[in-house]
Amino acid sequence: MRRSTFVRYESIVCNHISPTLGRLKLKNLTPAHVRRLYREKSESLSPRSVNYIHITLHKALRQAVMDGLIPRNVADAVKVPQAGQAPLA
């Protein structure tokens, strides 16, 4: 992984994911939590930025599944708003 990619992922986690989901245990994370994150971020960020948040979270949860920390990737159950689409309800 390039250093710039790592820095971007780190920024997304520190600035967007951790403040909203950081207090939850992985096993307690639900699609509703992820939907709320995307909805909140859709109010202040572009759809592309919300998509970057989704990609970062999805990859982290996929690794947690592969490591046996959680049984499934809850981000699989959540659709990300596309450009021009209303924020998630």
Name residue 8's amino acid. Answer: R
Q: What is the DSSP letter of 50?
A: H
Judge whether 42 lies within some domain.
yes
Judge whether 84 lies within some domain.
no
Q: What is the pLDDT of residues 36-83, one digit of tens each?
A: 999 999 999 999 999 999 999 999 999 999 999 999 999 999 988 775
Structural domain including 21 reads 3-77
Positive or negative CA dihedral for 66, 26, 77, 72?
positive
Judge whether 7 lies within some domain.
yes
Q: What is the pLDDT of residues 5-36, one digit of tens each?
A: 889 999 999 999 999 999 999 999 999 999 99
Q: Is residue 50 within 8 Å of residue 7, measured between CB atoms?
A: no
Judge whether 47 lies within some domain.
yes
Name residue 72's amino acid. Answer: R
pTM score of the predicted model: 0.84
Judge whether 88 lies within some domain.
no
Q: Which CATH number is 57's domain given? A: 1.10.150.130
Q: What is the DSSP letter of 79?
A: P
Q: Give the C-alpha separation, 69 to 47, whole Å.
A: 30
* Domains: count for the chain: 1
Residue 35 tokens read as 């939907």
Judge whether 14 lies within some domain.
yes
Judge whether 19 lies within some domain.
yes
Q: Give the C-alpha separation, 12 to 6, whole Å.
A: 10
